[in-house]
Amino acid sequence: MDTATQLITIAAVLLGSLTTYATNQLVEWSKRRETRRVRWDERKLDAYAEYIGQVRAVIHANVLLYEVSGGMRAMPRSEHELSMDLTEASAAQSIAFERVMLLAEDSVVDAAHAVQEATAAIGWQARGVVTGSLEDWRHLNSAAFTAINRFHQSARADLGVSGSFEGEQHSARGLLLPGSRAGE
């Protein structure tokens, strides 16, 4: 073998080694990137689920307080105790909301703000800060569930979950509020 052939062979081996090294680095980088993405998606899912769970707890606490204070339901717990439960649930919701703010994209954050506003309005009427009729109460709850549905849809899009459940057909289901009483 002459010198030129040996240099070409060495160059080919070096090129092959560099190509293999670069390919391995790209594959490893891609794996790390995918692992990071999955980890963040899991954290987002946990944050979104926790937030909605806390929102539902606040709505439930609001309903109990509203029904007891309005004489629609009798419970062994006092209005003060129910109000304290609502305060605790609201604090947990605020903490869960902050976690969503840290992890979510803009559309999810906007939807979460709408949920916060809607649940606050329910709380104001439940606590008697704002007065309103049972029909007003129903409207506030309906608005909250519409905001929750928008949050679900935004969160699903952020997580890459296919499908949709927006629209009147879905929102019309599921408002479990007391029926109207005569004279209201």
pLDDT in tens, the chain (184 residues): 688 888 888 888 888 888 888 788 787 787 777 666 666 788 999 999 999 999 999 999 999 999 999 888 888 889 999 999 999 999 999 999 999 999 999 999 999 999 999 999 999 999 999 999 999 999 999 999 999 999 999 999 998 888 776 555 555 555 555 554 444 4
Q: Which residues contact 180 (CB under 8 A, 6 or more apart)?
A: 134, 135
Evaluate whether residue 16 is within a structural domain: no
Q: What's residue 120's pLDDT?
A: 96
Q: For the domain that residue 111 is a member of, what is the CATH number?
A: 1.20.1420
Say if CB 72 and CB 178 are below 8 A apart. Answer: yes
Predicted confidence at residue 37, as pLDDT, reads 62
Q: Give the per-residue pLDDT at 11.
A: 84
Q: Which pLDDT score, from 0 to 100, does residue 29 have?
A: 81
pLDDT at 61: 95
Which domain, by its residues, includes 122?
Answer: 40-171
55 vs 114: CA distance, rounded Å: 12
What's the pLDDT at 40? Answer: 76
Tally of domains in the chain: 1
Inside any domain, residue 2: no
Domain for residue 57, yes or no? yes
3-state secondary structure of 145: helix
Residue 114 placed within a domain: yes
Return d(Cα 45, Cα 95) in angstroms, integer: 16
Say what the pLDDT of residue 130 is.
Answer: 92
